[in-house]
Structure 1
Amino acid sequence: MPINIQNGLPAKTILENEKIFAIEDDSARKQRVRPIQMVILNLMPKKIETETQILRLISKSPLQVSIDLMKIDSHKSKNTSEEHLVKFYKDYHTFLNNYYDCMIVTGAPVEHLEFEEVDYWKELCEIMEWSKTHVYSVMHICWGAQAGLYYHYGIKKQMLSEKMFGIFTHHLEDEYDFLTNGFDEYHFTPHSRHTKIDEEALLKDKRLVVLSKGEKTGSNIIVTKDYRQIFVTGHFEYGVETLSQEYFRDLNEGKPIHIPENYFLNDDPEQKPILKWRSHANLLYRNWLNYVYQLTPYVIENIQNVDPIGTSKKDEHGYSKAFIK
Structure 2
Amino acid sequence: MNSDINIVFAANYNYAPHVLTTIKSVCYHNKGVNFYLLHCGFPREWVRNVNRHLEKYDSQLQSLTVNDDLFKGYPSLKHISSESTYYRFLISEAVNADRALYLDCDLVVTGNLREFYYTDFNNNLAIAIPDICLDVLNWHHPYNLHLGKYVNSAYFAKIQQAYTEICKGDKAYINLIVKNPNHSCWLTTQFNYKYAYTLDELADYIVLPKAIVKKQAIAEGRNCWLFDTVRKWAYREVLFYKKNNATENDFFNVVLNRLDSLNIFENAPPLLFNEIKAIAKSISKWTWRHFSEQKFNEIQKARSKKATIKRISSSLELRESLKNEFSHTKSQNIFV
Q: Does TM, scored on the shorter chain, surpass 0.5?
A: no
> Comparing both structures, which one devotes a greater share of its residues to helix?
2
Instruction: Give TM-score scaled by structure 2 length.
Output: 0.27
Larger RCO, structures 1/2 (Cα 8 Å, 6+ apart): 1
> Comparing both structures, which one devotes a greater share of its residues to strand?
1
Larger Rg: 2
Instruction: Give TM-score scaled by structure 1 length.
Output: 0.28
